[in-house]
Amino acid sequence: MTTRLGVGVVGAGRVGAVLGSALRAVGHPVIGVSAVSEASRERAETLLPGVPVLEVPEVVRRAELVLLAVPDDALPELVEGLAATGAWQPGQIVAHTAGRFGTAVLDPARAKGVIPVALHPAMTFTGTSLDLSRLEGCTFAVTAPTPVLPIGQALVVEMGGEPVVIEEAARPLYHAALAHGANHLVVLVAQAGDALRAAGVTDPGAVLRPLLDAALDGALRAESAGGAIATLTGPVRRGDAGTVRDHLAELTDLAARTGAADVLDSYSALARAATARALSADLIRSVQVEALLDALTPTHTSGTDGGSVPDVPTTDPKDDG
């Protein structure tokens, strides 16, 4: 994109300030930013030094490219409110960063003659300059009417990202997939850390880092080739129903002692999912599945009836403890 656009950033949150800084770095002048909270004002001052902090309507009035970086739930009301006050101007490019929405949410602005684009970076942001290097090679979901799709793609390329076109109807599923993968990964790490502390480990992060780094790297490499489940290790992969039963007994006790029932719930749900996927991938046999699912039923979580389901021997190597 050779044309330099005056950029107005609505929302100096972790995403808006970083993307505004990235666009500024490639020559697009940032003419204004809205920032309500003290944290947002500090972020704007750090990442967009010298850019005036303005009220939202004034940011929109001055800008050729309006970047809407606000929480998903706030976006529809914001777009409609600006349309009602006549803030939108024909020919403006309006891009939002909400993962769950395509461009339909911008229809009130589009009716005023703006060019609608939806850009969503598949990245977690800290709201600091560290994020700028993370944009290099970062995938951005781009959704826009076909005639203006190249505008969104060009903006992504200028920021160092890789544009991937996502259809309007697929945006919610796309966003759910990212949230499930990234946000719930954080929850799993927190849960594993709690259990390790209860087991007497003083630095759970040090224990988990090499294991999770290896597991994540292997899974992502395999997923790019067609299926992450092939890298599954652990008791489900081996068909060790007795181990799963013991795990549930320990996690049940942990929940009783600490109130951390979510760890037990997550383990049970994901162990069932792992069992189903391992069977579909022919990693385990049906008899092993029966034993695993039997171990995962609530009646077996107390640990008092460990002999009720015999362990099923497997030829798989016990390679991961």
Domain identity same for 158 and 181:
no
The reply to whether 310 falls in a domain is no
Domain identity same for 117 and 183:
no
Q: Note whether 222 and 228 are within 8 A (CB).
A: yes
Q: Is the dihedral of CA 134, 138, 141, 147 positive or negative?
A: positive
Q: Which domain holds residue 239?
A: 173-300
Partners of 94 in the β-ladder: 66, 116
DSSP per-residue letters across 256-299: HHH--HHHHHHHHHHHHHHHHHHHHTTSS-HHHHHHHHHHTSGG
Model pTM score: 0.86
CA atoms within 13 A on the CB side of 319: 7
Domain identity same for 120 and 209:
no
Domain identity same for 17 and 35:
yes
pLDDT in tens, 259-296: 999 999 999 999 999 999 999 999 999 999 999 999 99
Task: Mark the ranges of the chain whose per-residue pLDDT is less than 50.
Answer: 300-321
DSSP per-residue letters across 131-159: HHHHTTT-EEEEE--GGGHHHHHHHHHHT
The reply to whether 318 falls in a domain is no
**Considering its fold, how many domains does the chain have in total?**
2
DSSP H helix total and E strand total for the chain:
14, 7
**DSSP label at residue 179:** I
pLDDT in tens, 146-170: 999 999 999 999 999 999 999 999 9
DSSP per-residue letters across 209-248: HHHHHHHHHHHHHHHHHT-GGGG--SHHHHT-HHHHHHHH
